[in-house]
Structure 1
């Protein structure tokens, strides 16, 4: 695989760390800015908002730029947002820094996915995507725990300075390793927008939203599920989360290999597994050994969905992939919002900490239904092409 994928993975590691690190620093941030924990938690929602809004806007703004130039510009924006966060004198400035960094998130992964697939042969596209997204999955295993430890030992600003350093390495890597190529012939905003006239693109985005939402219905309240239902000690939570992270890394790589061989079956299989495992997590919540085992396999199924879903959107929007690819990153974040919102409503209603996992089953079934519709359309089109 080309070394340029390493530069993309390092950048993805930095971006992923920025996205998730705030969860481990909420007490410190709340104390420093004299706000409540829920108010500090809005820094998570603010980031997600920035991803959803920024992904299409910046991708559209950069349609006339060569893709390497676009990636470099996005990494500079990412660095600016984290510098602002590290220096933030007030809560409002920190929120502005978070949203600024988030604006680069979706567009970088969207454009980066196109660049990654262009670097390899067609039969290795999903594996190239998996390698780039390995940086994102590793951010959960290494970046977030390390960043949390740094923040607790040296203050939360030190965490953001560390992310700035990682982002700078990613920027230099993209500059040195990603090949410079002219802007694709015929690339324009109108052509990118034309992808959304295709029903296949919208169905692909729907597969992402419903198929990936179970991930967040389960993990949003995984800590209280463990301690309140499973009887785990608080000190065991990071250990189990680390096991989940290992599953995420493995699933990302497995998903890439399977997607190159059989794209739609791999999507159906990973979403089906994720749906079934949501039920297993709920049923195993009272048994510590069974729960720990289930959560590892759940993590594997969760990130096994990412390469095939992203690759399918690229295929569905053939000829105008950048904006559709960025929109799919927004769809992943919409899945985050939908899953965590429904999980929160269930817990607030007093339905217990295992109910979100059952909601994940329902959302997963909706994802499977959408995948089935895509399969029927694809098969019908193939029959019409062959004349059978």
Structure 2
């Protein structure tokens, strides 16, 4: 116990700056779900069209991340983070002042380009500066900024948007980016410039069919989860009459449940094996989606009565990624590090696909069909991993 406290006390300040940086970017991406109805109403577009703000951010990130990692490989890390965070701040503050849907889409793409440069670099810095034997812990802390955004950043951003308008939410995103920029500049040490990795070597894992199927499985897993997450506001409004204030509490509770689910999923992958843990997670997700579909038939329901189900949904959604990534590592074999480098892009392709496909379902059939469609996509993901395992065997 005492050793754990001492270890946390010795953690360097620059590490917390990197955690806050990933927290700021993830908050900026996910918070759209909480203010989606307000954005759509003010800009005169449908909620399905408003959801494409998530799609464009995630798709731009997915496409730019591998390119940014190659192009900026020999750049100064402090310089890269400084200029990218400055672009992020400018894009968010400009978004707070626009009244054009098209301009807002472009600004979201610029913010995503900044994220694509910073987030992979933050992971690399954490592992390169970590003491021997602590690389995993440092990396886990930096990645924890993503989950922390769901527990704290998204609820705060949603409440701010409900109280002061959605423009204030983007203003808050720019402020978070500014704090991250200053914190990085003050605490991050000067790092030696790295040698560039050849593009062919970085993309080599895509030449293996089982790895490609594994990456597609990651895409499908995230896509299925984000179909409901992106349009949670209209879904809970239609199901339980929930407004922005209630959504803030829902996101906070869901973030906490997701953090617990991710830890349990990782332990299950270690104890049961990745395959069994993955099957259990997808089965749990599919079951929750089936219950949501039944609830839709019984609407309207009290939000408080739905809270346990929402917590289980968040838990199983975050349970699935650890065993899925463990399975991807096994499929990649010696190419595991390169496959995981592409994993970030696969995740954001899934996020963008979730916004796009979920928008189509919402526009054509209504929010009540989102759970069933999400469950179907998760089952497809399970089939992709099964096929990849068969190819490897």
TM-score tier (shorter): 0.7 to 0.9
2:348 pairs with 1:371: no
Residues 1-388 of structure 1 aligned to structure 2 (within 5 Å): 2-3=11-12, 4-25=14-35, 35-36=44-45, 38=47, 41-65=51-75, 70-86=80-96, 88=98, 92-117=102-127, 119=130, 125=136, 128-154=138-164, 156-175=166-185, 181-183=191-193, 187-229=197-239, 231-232=240-241, 234=243, 236-256=246-266, 258=268, 264-265=274-275, 266-285=277-296, 286=298, 291-309=306-324, 316=332, 321=337, 324-325=339-340, 327-350=342-365, 353-376=367-390, 380=393
* Alpha-carbon distance change, 116 to 309 in structure 1, aligned in 2, over 3 angstroms: farther
Deviates most, 259-268 or 194-203: 259-268
In 2, the alpha carbon distance for the partners of 1:177 and 1:317 equals 37
* Alpha-carbon distance change, 319 to 309 in structure 1, aligned in 2, over 3 angstroms: same
In 2, the alpha carbon distance for the partners of 1:71 and 1:258 equals 36
How does the TM-score come out when normalised to structure 2?
Answer: 0.76
CA drift at 1:36: 3.6
In 2, the alpha carbon distance for the partners of 1:228 and 1:90 equals 27
* Alpha-carbon distance change, 199 to 41 in structure 1, aligned in 2, over 3 angstroms: closer
CA drift at 1:15: 0.6
In 2, the alpha carbon distance for the partners of 1:348 and 1:90 equals 21
* Alpha-carbon distance change, 65 to 179 in structure 1, aligned in 2, over 3 angstroms: same
CA drift at 1:207: 1.7
In 1, the alpha carbon distance for the partners of 2:45 and 2:172 equals 25
Q: Which residue of the partner structure matches residue 386 of structure 1?
A: none
CA drift at 1:101: 0.7
Deviations 1:257-299 (A, max 9, x none): 5556677244444344323332233334546566321210110
Deviates most, 66-75 or 5-14: 66-75
SS in 2 for 1:8: helix
Contact 1:111–1:325 (Cα < 8 Å) also in 2: no
Q: Which residue of the partner structure matches residue 5 of structure 2?
A: none
In 1, the alpha carbon distance for the partners of 2:177 and 2:193 equals 25
CA drift at 1:227: 4.8
* Alpha-carbon distance change, 107 to 246 in structure 1, aligned in 2, over 3 angstroms: same
Cα RMSD for the two superposed structures: 3.8
In 2, the alpha carbon distance for the partners of 1:147 and 1:364 equals 29
Unmatched runs of 5 consecutive residues or more in structure 2 = 1-7
CA drift at 1:91: 5.1
Contact 2:52–2:356 (Cα < 8 Å) also in 1: no
CA drift at 1:124: 7.0
In 2, the alpha carbon distance for the partners of 1:123 and 1:210 equals 31
Contact 1:220–1:340 (Cα < 8 Å) also in 2: yes
In 1, the alpha carbon distance for the partners of 2:309 and 2:54 equals 27
In 1, the alpha carbon distance for the partners of 2:171 and 2:125 equals 28
Deviations 1:127-158 (A, max 9, x none): 65543233222223322232233345445444
In 1, the alpha carbon distance for the partners of 2:230 and 2:212 equals 27
Contact 1:55–1:326 (Cα < 8 Å) also in 2: no
CA drift at 1:56: 2.6
* Alpha-carbon distance change, 368 to 183 in structure 1, aligned in 2, over 3 angstroms: farther
Deviations 1:342-374 (A, max 9, x none): 444444444x64432122222111211222334
Unmatched runs of 5 consecutive residues or more in structure 1 = 381-388
* Alpha-carbon distance change, 79 to 115 in structure 1, aligned in 2, over 3 angstroms: same
Q: What count of residue pairs does the alignment treat as equivalent?
A: 374
Deviations 1:62-91 (A, max 9, x none): 233366654455334323422443455855
